[in-house]
Amino acid sequence: MSESFDAVDIIRTKRDRGELSTDEIAWVVDAYTREVVADEQMASLAMAILLNGMTRREISDWTAAMIASGERMDFSSLSRPTADKHSTGGVGDKITLPLAPLVAACGVAVPQLSGRGLGHTGGTLDKLEAVPGWRAALSNEEILAQLEDVGAVICAAGSGLAPADKRLYSLRDVTGTVEAIPLIASSIMSKKIAEGTGALVLDVKVGSGAFMKTESDARELAQTMVALGTDAGVRTVALLTDMSTPLGRTAGNGLEVRESVEVLAGGGPADVVELTLALAREMVAGAGVTDVDPADALADGRAMDVWRRMISAQGGDPDAPLPTAKETHVVTADADGVLTRLDAFSVGVAAWRLGAGRARKEDPVQAAAGVELHAKPGERVRGGQPLVTLHTDTPQRFARAVEALEGAWDIGSRGTADGRRDIVIDRIA
């Protein structure tokens, strides 16, 4: 079969800051999926994109080509509108767990296709697999049936959605091109658009524990993704949210499930509740439902009812005890005062080293491993009191986890919770 273009010509165009045509983009993504374009050629093109960027039209075409590499899901047969959420990842980010059943309790179906953790950021599927019996792999038919019956599903994305992205994602990871905003945006949005949701809310994290460390980079990514969704006809908004401090008081799979259930029961940490409600209100509004406040569905137990049905529908036992670590280690405060800083990245690395995360996609994770926080910035502590508790089944991991936490917090003589940064920094639509 003769090819329409030559990969080297396309690489040169982008290397020399040129603009790729719609046909060139469609060909190179398809040819890479067919393995006509070699990994080293796509790696070179990805680096050129990282260094020289893409126009809005190029990114939109690139996203469309990724979508065209696989199947598209269709939820038009459902009796209720659909909305989804995507987070760019952070430490203690368990928001999907209470959010999906909460939005479903408001009359909006939530097809939440989620992923696994890598490095210091956690993965939603890893968290839920701490629930005995719960399974992540569902067929498209099972997803559709559960959305109609329960209203929410959290599961793994099938291999049929944007297979070009799967190949390119793995390549970017080993070629220093993960940070290319056009490729990040098209990777996320190709899967979300192919998923077929009617409305999409993006939670774009910014801060030490986030992928985007600066507000300007996070804003650029959010604006790019909102534009892609809009161009594809999906009602899309983004919230820039703070990830300088971990969300909630736990980082680790089973620990975060426990905290999520506390939120659904009407309690839980204030920051987790605040962000869950902010995202829920955006999702419900995006789906066109205007006569319900998610706070009511959280307070009256409807969200908890959907959670229990959602877990049961996927083989899990919502009443089973969550796993607990065989070993714990307490780190204490070294002075009296107010906790003024608690670094999210350091906590994420500590949880990872305890066994909650993985260095490679095929690595196993410990369901009970993680970090429990006994104080958050703005709270008063006393010297010698527990500041964090480390959880793991393998105590030889404690030393490196403690090492990760060196310099992770500051204790000052003054400061109050009133001075903390708002969770939601900005809204982009």
pLDDT tens profile 118-161: 667 778 999 999 999 999 999 999 999 999 999 999 998 877 88
Task: Identify which has the larger pLDDT, 418 or 308.
Answer: 308
pLDDT higher than threshold 70 for residue 15: yes
Q: What is the number of domains present in the chain? A: 2
pLDDT higher than threshold 50 for residue 105: yes
Residue 175 lies in a domain: no
350 burial level (CB within 10 Å; 0-12, 13-18, 19+): buried
Mean pLDDT confidence for 271-298: 96
Task: Identify which has the larger pLDDT, 363 or 84.
Answer: 84
Residue (of 260, 273, 268, 245) closest to 379 by Cα position: 245
Residue 66 lies in a domain: no
Mean pLDDT confidence for 393-420: 84
pLDDT of residue 170: 80
Task: Tell whether 130 and 210 lie within a shared domain.
Answer: yes
Mean pLDDT confidence for 395-420: 83
pLDDT tens profile 178-233: 889 999 999 999 999 999 999 999 999 999 999 899 999 999 999 999 999 999 99
Structure tokens at 60: 């939109």
Residue (of 138, 143, 136) closest to 77 by Cα position: 143
CA angle 269, 211, 164 (to 5 degrees): 120
pLDDT of residue 357: 82
In sequence order, what are the beta bridge partners of 391?
A: 328, 370
pLDDT > 70: percent of the chain: 96
pLDDT higher than threshold 70 for residue 363: yes
pLDDT higher than threshold 70 for residue 416: no
Please say which residue of 313, 335, 366 terminates a domain.
Answer: 313
Task: Tell whether 233 and 376 lie within a shared domain.
Answer: no
Residue (of 245, 271, 214) closest to 410 by Cα position: 245
Domain span at residue 410 reads 327-418
Supply the DSSP symbol for 331: E
pLDDT tens profile 44-61: 999 999 999 999 999 999
Mean pLDDT confidence for 420-427: 86
Task: Tell whether 288 and 337 lie within a shared domain.
Answer: no
pLDDT higher than threshold 60 for residue 417: no
Contact in structure between 222 and 345 (CB atoms under 8 Å): no
Task: Tell whether 130 and 202 lie within a shared domain.
Answer: yes
101 burial level (CB within 10 Å; 0-12, 13-18, 19+): buried
pLDDT tens profile 310-359: 999 999 999 999 999 999 999 999 999 999 999 999 999 999 999 998 76
- Altogether, the residues listed in the chain come to a count of 429
CA pair distance 128, 418, nearest whole angstrom? 33
pLDDT > 90: percent of the chain: 83
Task: Tell whether 306 and 252 lie within a shared domain.
Answer: yes
Contact in structure between 138 and 132 (CB atoms under 8 Å): no
Pairing of strands 386-392, 370-373: antiparallel
Active site positions, annotated: 86, 165, 172, 187, 191
Task: Tell whether 308 and 382 lie within a shared domain.
Answer: no
Residue 47 lies in a domain: no
Please say which residue of 313, 348, 372 terminates a domain.
Answer: 313
Residue 61 lies in a domain: no
CA pair distance 358, 354, nearest whole angstrom? 10
Task: Tell whether 305 and 266 lie within a shared domain.
Answer: yes
pTM beyond 0.95, yes or no: no
pLDDT of residue 413: 79
pLDDT of residue 1: 66
Please say which residue of 268, 283, 313 terminates a domain.
Answer: 313
Task: Tell whether 151 and 277 lie within a shared domain.
Answer: yes
pLDDT of residue 415: 58
CATH number, domain containing residue 400: 3.90.1170.30
pLDDT of residue 122: 73
pLDDT of residue 214: 94
Task: Tell whether 413 and 339 lie within a shared domain.
Answer: yes
Contact in structure between 256 and 357 (CB atoms under 8 Å): no
Sheet harboring 424-428: ordered strands across? 83-87, 199-206, 235-242, 424-428
Residue 202 lies in a domain: yes
CA pair distance 73, 91, nearest whole angstrom? 30
pLDDT of residue 119: 65
Residue (of 159, 113, 152) closest to 136 by Cα position: 113
Mean pLDDT confidence for 104-114: 95
Residue 171 lies in a domain: no
Task: Identify which has the larger pLDDT, 167 or 293.
Answer: 293
Residue 407 lies in a domain: yes
Task: Tell whether 296 and 346 lie within a shared domain.
Answer: no
Phi-psi region of 378 (alpha: psi -120 to 50; beta: other; left: phi over 0): left
- Report how far Cα 298 is from the mean position of its chain's Cα atoms: 22
pLDDT higher than threshold 50 for residue 280: yes
Between the alpha carbon of residue 262 and those of residues 98, 256, 315, 343, the distances in Å are: 9, 10, 21, 24
Residue 78 lies in a domain: no
Between the alpha carbon of residue 423 and those of residues 120, 236, 324, the distances in Å are: 20, 20, 30
CA pair distance 28, 30, nearest whole angstrom? 5
Mean pLDDT confidence for 16-31: 97
Task: Give the position of tokens 């009407």.
Answer: 266
Task: Tell whether 390 and 300 lie within a shared domain.
Answer: no
pLDDT higher than threshold 90 for residue 420: no
On average, the pLDDT of the chain sits at 93
